Structure 1
Amino acid sequence: MRDVSLNPVQPDQAQPVTRAAAQLAWLDDPAIAARLVTLSAGALRAVLAPEVGGALAAFYEVTPDGPLHWLRPAAAEAFDVRDPLRMASFPLLPYCNRIRDARFEFDGATIDLAGNDPRFAHALHGNAWRHPWRVGARSGNAVDLHFEHEPDASVPGDWPFRYRARQRIELRDGALYITLSAQNLAGRPMPFGMGHHPYYPRTAATRIHAEVQAMWHADADVLPTHLGPHPAVDALRAGMSPDAFDLDNNFANWSRVATIAWPDEHRSLTLRADAPFDHMVVFAPADDPQLCVEPVTNTTDCFNAVGPREQVGGCVLQPGEEIEATLSWTPHHSSRNFAI
């Protein structure tokens, strides 16, 4: 059984890059630049595209040799079509990854999400990434982005619960911090999960280091079948090449720390996550330049999955209840071994 299925993003939408000024040519387009928010702190830069699903368009370092990319920068065409899948990273709310057949049972009712995107057979990544976010308070190194969802029964597959979400994006202490928060504004309990979907530069030398306990095996639709051992678990602990396996899988009970390293370039990027980001997705498809290591609060199809809560993740927010947690990405330059 394969661990992954076809990915909806085509390979030419994500070119591997670590240093490429041409990848930021869209910053020189006044029509695009006017819709962006650029944060700076020392040599670090973070570029936000609020209208494109509240996405991060680039995270890079200014160097004498040009921009050094810590995340894969957005493709120029992503701004015209407003496609977060071609951005550097984007928020996932009110659930992460797929929901089987776009439906699940909750609180005695069937929640039908079918029709929210004809490209996908299963509901994908929630709905916040499909809408513009509003810019709130901002400074030179930080910005708040806001999104509020009001259900619309006339829209097929619309999420039927009202909620409010916020991203606090900040450059400080030599790192990128993103604090995600959400509040249930509905008059009834709401199932919930959240995460972020970062793409990293992928080269032949790239290695991923993470302490994980087990992997969710998946069917041809990238939906989980069972939690168990896999060679990727030990490979991640040792430093796994993205080319080692054909992966689009959830890993349970990780240490909430992962490092993406480019040892030939003597640099690495460390991802840290607060609870309840207790799950990690590795998307490293074969023969494809894309690479994602995603911090999430729930496994794929968590609303339908059967298993202990610590293995499945997700939660239920009561009316008025709010949840908040922080993610950070810290760049490192070093000639030492990057293993955790």
Structure 2
Amino acid sequence: MLKQLHFSNVHIEINTLGGQACVFEVDNKSIFHPLKSHLVDASIGGLFPMVPIANRVEGNRFINEGRLIELPNVDWDKEFFLHGDGWKKEWQIYYEKQDEIALILESHINDDIHYLATLSFKLAKSQLIVTLKAKNLSSHPFPFNIGLHPFFYSSEKSYLIFSHQGYWPETEKHLPKPYQVQVPKQYNFQTIKTLTQGWINHCYKVSSPVAELIHHDMGYKVEIEYNSDYLTIYQPECSAPYVCIEPQCFPINAHNFMEIPTISPEDEQQITMTIQVKDV
């Protein structure tokens, strides 16, 4: 089902299949690279939720409190429970207002992974606030790692800047190498940099809750605020019409190299991203 909301100078289109924001426009300018609403594949535009796992877990398994957790095999990736299952399932409308819509999804994968997700989109002037929550319905604690996967419109004339302490470089099968404090110049966004580096798929430990995507040629910038310490930056090539700036609760493959706090039964994890469009 496709739902459209207009509020002030903001327009969004939401597809309940996958909980996707297919379109986000401010003053008729596309802030997200738009996704055709009839497409099931959300991997080329819009925004989709990553729940209950963001990105990839090596071996598709991990140990949690002495128990082996095996993630499900899925038909959209041969090796990983990629981005979880929320972006592939039909969500229900939880509530709808003039300036806000919320979707809800219950997914029962196995005895360890049973959750209730809520995804809300709230509009204000030149602004969109996206909030994702995952409540643990299992009888076992589970280390959720939820996130948001937006495809921001970009070009070779777009600039990106955000503060970071270090990063996990990508290696084989899109998994991370060990953490590095020294970030090579071409991947260092501490100072403003054009998006002309070609393939990028790295996770950063951030030191500021705001990233800026600046389009001087079009006269506006996008301020992206998040309540997370980790961002994955994904760009398939410098000529791609988008860059993904993905806040997530923990790094890629964190289940296998760091201790992730578990979410107790009936407790929840939350991530929020505020997108503000301003003139430059």
Aligned position for 1:56: 21
Q: SS in structure 2 opposite 1:250?
A: strand
Bigger strand share: 2
Distance in 2 between residues matched to 1:88 and 1:324, nearest whole Å: 20
Give CA-to-partner distance per residue, 1:29-81, whole Å, 9 cap, x none: xxxxxx21111111211111112x1011010024xxxx310110003551xxx
Pairing partner for 1:168 from 120, 123, 129:
120
- 1:256 aligns with 209
* CA–CA distance in structure 2, aligned partners of residues 91 and 77 of structure 1: 18
Cα deviations across residues 217-270 of structure 1 (Å, max 9, x unaligned)?
A: 221212112111112587412112221253100001331210111111121111
Instruction: Flag the 1:234–1:117 CA change in 2: closer, same or farther, 3 A.
Output: closer
Letter in 1 for 2:157: A
CA displacement 1:76-127 (0-9 Å, x = unmatched): 551xxx2221340100111211111211122222222252235332221111
1:115 aligns with 2:73: yes
Residues 299 and 103 of structure 1: CA distance in aligned 2, closer, same or farther (over 3 Å)? same
- Cα distance in structure 1, aligned partners of 2:134 and 2:109: 16
- Name the amino acid aligned to 1:303: H
**Partner in structure 1 of residue 232 of structure 2:** 281
> Is 1:213 paired with 2:165?
yes
More helix by share: 1
Give the equivalent residue in structure 1 for 2:264: 318
Cα contact 1:197–1:292 (8 A) shared by 2: yes
Identical pairs, percent: 21
Report the structure number with the largest CA radius of gyration.
1
Inter-partner Cα distance in structure 1 for 2:73 and 2:152: 30
TM-score using structure 1 length: 0.77
Aligned residue pair count: 278
Change (3 A) 1:255 1:232: farther
In the alignment, the residues of structure 2 paired with residue 257 and residue 233 of structure 1 have an alpha-carbon distance, to the nearest angstrom, of 20
Residue number among 7, 12, 32 corresponding to 1:71 in the alignment: 32
Is 1:181 aligned with 2:133? Answer: yes
1:141-182 per-position Cα deviation (integer Å, ceiling 9, x unaligned):
101100111235xxxxxx842111101211024310012112
Of the candidates 123, 126, 135, which is equivalent to residue 93 of structure 2? 135
Task: Could you tell me which runs of 5 or more consecutive residues in structure 1 were left unpaired when the two chains were aligned.
Answer: 1-34, 153-158, 335-340
- Separation of aligned partners in 2, 1:218 and 1:235: 14
Query: 1:105 matched to which residue of 2?
Result: 63
Q: CA RMSD in A?
A: 1.9
Change (3 A) 1:94 1:248: same
Deviation of the 1:184 alpha carbon? 0.8
TM-score, normalised relative to structure 2? 0.92
Code of the residue aligned with 2:41 in structure 1: it is D
Cα distance in 1 between the residues matched to 2:76 and 2:9 = 42
Change in CA separation of 1:238 and 1:287 when aligned onto 2, cut-off 3 Å: closer
